[in-house]
Every structure is written in structure tokens, then in C-alpha cells.
């Protein structure tokens, strides 16, 4: 049995304009400039630069919301704008460049991939066709760090199934030695030990390097775990000899592929969205001028719409054109308003962060960072947490202490022995300082670091110390040990 019913529900939905505004707020300066250029290119009713007459900027832009207006200053025949009798584009271009004309184009670097760099070297070797195919397949297995992470057995199987090349483990091992001769040294290694050995064996043999090779070949685990006493006992050498051998190993590159592939990585330039300066003990915040462009409505498009209002006989073509013009004018006006709202939101949010962390910005000492979460700032500026998150996640501020990512100023809180709320960033800074001061012959364990922090008034468990140490990318005590 079918039933019909009527229900009322209250739903909150974001309009397309609100969604676009949120996206604008999230954009950093460089991405915002690209969005701005795209909008100007796509909307002919939007123009950049200062308008010549301020009266036009101050006039009521809502005039074109209705078809009829009372004050029409300019009479324009819209058929002039709808004419198909345009000058072809090719007639407006000139190709008569002289030898004296300056070429301002910037050349781009082509570059080659890491694998292609290795294949180009392979072409200088005299090997048969099948070995060339195997070598190229091995090169294709090399990752960006310069390693082959697969076993020889798997490679033999793949050669048979994908390349129709039936070979043996011994043959692949023989070809792999050719790959090991390629530059950079250590490329094609299957593990760290082999990578370091390949580099050492390329160098001229000395007493220290010979000892380093023996250590890597027979006692690699002791070396990695820094069991120096066991190495001294096994090789019956002095501490100075061990230090010299380890010094030779430390000069090697554990990621030979990184030295090449890194050259092709585009350099990222950070453009600060805000500038913060201290003037006679007072904090001054400013928004990057590139975030505040001069935009205005196209006078030409506005006059076209006014001219249409006086036209009595309107053809279908004219109606379609006026609808297009009105849409572009509405979009341009909204975009200008959205940019102004973006500027206000950015300044309001960053201003609240600046005063919340005023002590830090005046001193530059990370230990003065107050515990701060997104909700703290959202409540101060009466905005949603998501809006604060969009501002903080991708924006940078230029401070007297360097360019900082805004989200770095946010941290959780914990209580010290006096019950005061302190920032976890402060604890991490103290932890890092204590590790830097430790005796490298006997590095502090997480247990000892926990006890040391408790003496300073920070009640932190050993597991928490381990978590903070990992976040700071600091290895365990055993791996921090040095032979001096």
C-alpha cells in the first residue's frame, strides 16, 4: 500500500559562492596569483589595475541588477558589439623581426631521467644484444635512491614472462656487475652494505679504506649498531685506526641515486603571505601586497549594459548577449567582494595568532610558545574552526626569526609540576637541547631523558619522550653513540 507524507527538514548547505570563498581563503600567495590571472583571463568584465575615475568605483554597482535604469549617461548601439565583421587575427600580427630585436624568452632545461642517464652510459660498453636487454631491465628496476630492491630470482622470472628472455641467475649476476660499474658509484646495489662497498672499491686503496672494507664485509651489523668495542676486539686495532676507517665510510653516499634525481626536482620558492615586524617593542603585521590586487569592473561592459537598457527593440541575439554580459558583471562583482573578504579573514586570523603568541614573537624563543589549538583562535575571531585551519595550513609569515609556517605555532598543551599549561613545543625544544649537550660516548637513554625532564619540572613518561624524540627525527641512544 502506497502512502504519501509531507515532512519538514532543516538543512544547512553551502552555496557555490561560499565554497569558492573557502577555496580562495585556503590558497597561498602564489596559487592565489594564478587563480587571479585565470579569473581575469576568463572574465572580460574583470580588469586589473587602478580605475582612472574613482567615481565609477564608488557608483552603485547594483544598477545592472534590473533591466531598467533611470540614469543612462552613455548611448551605445549594442549591434556594434555583436557584429561578426571582425578583423582576422592573422592581420593583426607582424613577423618582420629584425636581428636587433631582443629575445626575452627564458630557455628551459630539458634534462634526462636517472634511468636514461644510466642507459646512455651502458651504450659505451661492448656487450651482446641479450646482455643489453638484461642490463636495461636491471636499470629499469633501480629506484630513485639508486637501489635494486628485488631479488635476482624475481628478476629472472620477470625477464622470462615480460621480455621473453630466458636466462639464469649467474648470467643476471654477471650483467649486474656491468651496472655496478656505471656512475654514480654504488648504483644498482641491493642493500646498504653492497652500496658502500662498491663506492669504497672504486677508490684508491689505502690502509684505512682496506680496514673499512673488511668492517663492511665481515662486521656490518656491529658497525650499524655502533658496537665499537666489539670491532676493536675483533680486528685488534687501536681506537685511532677505527676512527679513521669509520671516517672513510662516513664520506660515502648511502643514496647514490639521490645526487642525480634531486637535480631534476623543481625548486620550491616560499612567498610569505604576511610580514611581521617589531617596531620599538610593538608588533606590526601586514599582508603581502600581492594578496591585495587592484581590481575593478570593466567600464566598457558596464556601459554596454546601460546602452541596452535604452534599446526598445531587442532581438534574440541581443537578449542572449545581454544575458552573457550580466552574468560576467555579476561574477566580476562577486569575485572582487570575495577577495576583499579573503583579505579581511586572513588579517583577522593572523592578527589573533600574533597577539596570542605575542611573547614568542617578541623574543623568538620557542620555549615562550603558548599552547594553542585551532579552537582557541576560532573563538577569538568568532569564526569556524575549519576557516582557521584553511588559513593556518598553507600560509607563511615572515618574522624577524625567519619565515615560518603558521600551523607551526599551534601545539597541544600539558601541565608541569606546578599545574601550569605549557606547550609541547617547549618540551620538545628542551629535549632537543639536552640531547645536543649529552656526552656522545654515553648518550642519554629515553629513561634518563625522562628523569632529566622531571628534574626540570616536566612530568613526562619514557614512552612520551620516545614519541617526541621520533617526531624530532632523533635516533635512539645507541645510534647516537660516537667513538671519540
pLDDT of residue 340 exceeding 70: yes
Residue that the C-alpha cell 548577449 belongs to: 321
56's grid cell: 565609477
Query: Do residues 446 and 381 share a domain?
Result: no
Judge if 243 and 183 occupy the same domain: yes
Residue 220: domain span: 114-262
- Considering the domain architecture, whether residues 248 and 286 belong to the same structural domain is answered as no
The verdict on 383 and 427 lying in the same domain is no
d(CA 333, CA 380): 30
Beta bridge pairs of residue 142: 148
332/286 same-domain check: yes
Q: pLDDT tens across 314-335, in order?
A: 667 767 777 777 788 888 888 8
Using an 8 Å Cβ cutoff, are 469 and 429 in contact? no
209, 169 in Cβ contact below 8 A? no
Question: By three-state DSSP, how is residue 193 classified?
Answer: helix
423: part of which helix (H) or strand (E)?
strand 421-423
What is the pLDDT, as a whole number, of residue 455? 81
Q: Which residue has the cell 656487475?
A: 177
Question: How many domains are there within the chain?
Answer: 3
Report whether 81 contacts 321 (CB < 8 A). Answer: yes
Cα gap 444→138, rounded to integer Å: 44
Confidence of residue 351 (pLDDT cuts 50, 70, 90): very high
Same domain, 123 and 231: yes
295 forms beta bridges with 48
pLDDT digits (tens, 9 = 90+) for 442-453: 888 888 888 888
Is 99 inside any structural domain? no
What grid cell was written down for 396?
A: 607563511
Instruction: Answer yes or no: do 339 and 227 share one domain.
Output: no
Question: 431 and 293, same structural domain?
Answer: no
Domain identity same for 325 and 310: yes
User: Residue 212: pLDDT band by 50, 70, 90 thresholds?
Assistant: confident
Percent of the chain with pLDDT over 70: 77
Res. 64 pLDDT band, cuts 50 70 90:
very low
- Domain-located, residue 161: yes
Nearest of 400, 121, 170 to residue 272 by alpha carbon: 400
| pLDDT value of residue 452 | 83
- Using the 3D structure, point to which of 349, 377, 409 is the last residue of a domain: 409
- Regarding whether 327 and 286 lie in a shared domain, the answer is yes
| Residue 128, pLDDT score | 84
What pLDDT, on a 0 to 100 scale, did the predictor assign at position 281? 86
Is 285 in the same domain as 305? yes
Residue with the larger pLDDT of the pair 142 and 17? 142
Cα gap 275→122, rounded to integer Å:
52
Q: For the residues of 83-145, what is the DSSP string, one character each? A: -S-PPPGGGG------TTS---PPP------HHHHHHHHHTTS---HHHHHHHHHHHHTB-TT
Mean pLDDT on 83-109? 48
What is the tens place of the pLDDT at every residue in 225-276?
Answer: 888 888 888 888 888 888 888 888 888 888 888 766 545 445 557 788 899 9
- Single residue among 212, 227, 262 that ends a domain in this structure: 262
Q: Domain holding 455: CATH number?
A: 1.10.10.60
Are 278 and 391 in a shared domain? yes
Q: Is 50 exceeded by the pLDDT of residue 84?
A: no
pLDDT at residue 484 is higher than 60: no
Dist CA 478 CA 190 (whole Å): 26
Q: Which residue has the higher pLDDT, 68 or 243?
A: 243
Amino acid at each position: 500500500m502506497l502512502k504519501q507524507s509531507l515532512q519538514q527538514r532543516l538543512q544547512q548547505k553551502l552555496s557555490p559562492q561560499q565554497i569558492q570563498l573557502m577555496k580562495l581563503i585556503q590558497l597561498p600567495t602564489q596559487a592565489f596569483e594564478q587563480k587571479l590571472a585565470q579569473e581575469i583571463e576568463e572574465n572580460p568584465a574583470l580588469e586589473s589595475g587602478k580605475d582612472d575615475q574613482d567615481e565609477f568605483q564608488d557608483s552603485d554597482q547594483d544598477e545592472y541588477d534590473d533591466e531598467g535604469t533611470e540614469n543612462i549617461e552613455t548611448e551605445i548601439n549594442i549591434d556594434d558589439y555583436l557584429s561578426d565583421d571582425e578583423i582576422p587575427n592573422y592581420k593583426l600580427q607582424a613577423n618582420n623581426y629584425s636581428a636587433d630585436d631582443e629575445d626575452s624568452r627564458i630557455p628551459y632545461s630539458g634534462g634526462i631521467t636517472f634511468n636514461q642517464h644510466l642507459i646512455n652510459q651502458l651504450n659505451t660498453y661492448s656487450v651482446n644484444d641479450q646482455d643489453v636487454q638484461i642490463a636495461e631491465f636491471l636499470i629499469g628496476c633501480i629506484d630513485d635512491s639508486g637501489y635494486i630492491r628485488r631479488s635476482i630470482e624475481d628478476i629472472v622470472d620477470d625477464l622470462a614472462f615480460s621480455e621473453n628472455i630466458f636466462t639464469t641467475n649467474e648470467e643476471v649476476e654477471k650483467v649486474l656487475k656491468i651496472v655496478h660499474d656505471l656512475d654514480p658509484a654504488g648504483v644498482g646495489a641491493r642493500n646498504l652494505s653492497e652500496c658502500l662497498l662498491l663506492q669504497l672499491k672504486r677508490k684508491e686503496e689505502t690502509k684505512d679504506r682496506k680496514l673499512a672494507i673488511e668492517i663492511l664485509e665481515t662486521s656490518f651489523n656491529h658497525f650499524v649498531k655502533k658496537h665499537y668495542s666489539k670491532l676493536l676486539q675483533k680486528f685488534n686495532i687501536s681506537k685511532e685506526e677505527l676512527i679513521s676507517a669509520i671516517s672513510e665510510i662516513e664520506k660515502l653516499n648511502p643514496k647514490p641515486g639521490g645526487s642525480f634525481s634531486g637535480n631534476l626536482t623543481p625548486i620550491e620558492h616560499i612567498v610569505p603571505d604576511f610580514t611581521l615586524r617589531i617596531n620599538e617593542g610593538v608588533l606590526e603585521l601586514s599582508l603581502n601586497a600581492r594578496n591585495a590586487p587592484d581590481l575593478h569592473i570593466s567600464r566598457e561592459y558596464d556601459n554596454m549594459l546601460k546602452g541596452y537598457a535604452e534599446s526598445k527593440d531587442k532581438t534574440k541575439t541581443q537578449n542572449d548577449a545581454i544575458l552573457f554580459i550580466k552574468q560576467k558583471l555579476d561574477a566580476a562583482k562577486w569575485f572582487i567582494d570575495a577577495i576583499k573578504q579573503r583579505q579581511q579573514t586572513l588579517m583577522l586570523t593572523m592578527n589573533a595568532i600574533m597577539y596570542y603568541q605575542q611573547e614568542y614573537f617578541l623574543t623568538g624563543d620557542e620555549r615562550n610558545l603558548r599552547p594553542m589549538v585551532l579552537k582557541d583562535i576560532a573563538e577569538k575571531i568568532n569564526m569556524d574552526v575549519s576557516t582557521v585551519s584553511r588559513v593556518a595550513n598553507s600560509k607563511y609569515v615572515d618574522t624577524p626569526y625567519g619565515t615560518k609556517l603558521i600551523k607551526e605555532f599551534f601545539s597541544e598543551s600539558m601541565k608541569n609540576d606546578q599545574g601550569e599549561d605549557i606547550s609541547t613545543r617547549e618540551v620538545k625544544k628542551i629535549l632537543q637541547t639536552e640531547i645536543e649537550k649529552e656526552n656522545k660516548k654515553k648518550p642519554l637513554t629515553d629513561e634518563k631523558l625522562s628523569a632529566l625532564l622531571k628534574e626540570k619540572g616536566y612530568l613526562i613518561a619514557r614512552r612520551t619522550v620516545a614519541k617526541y624524540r621520533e617526531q624530532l627525527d632523533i635516533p635512539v641512544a645507541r645510534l647516537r653513540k660516537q667513538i671519540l
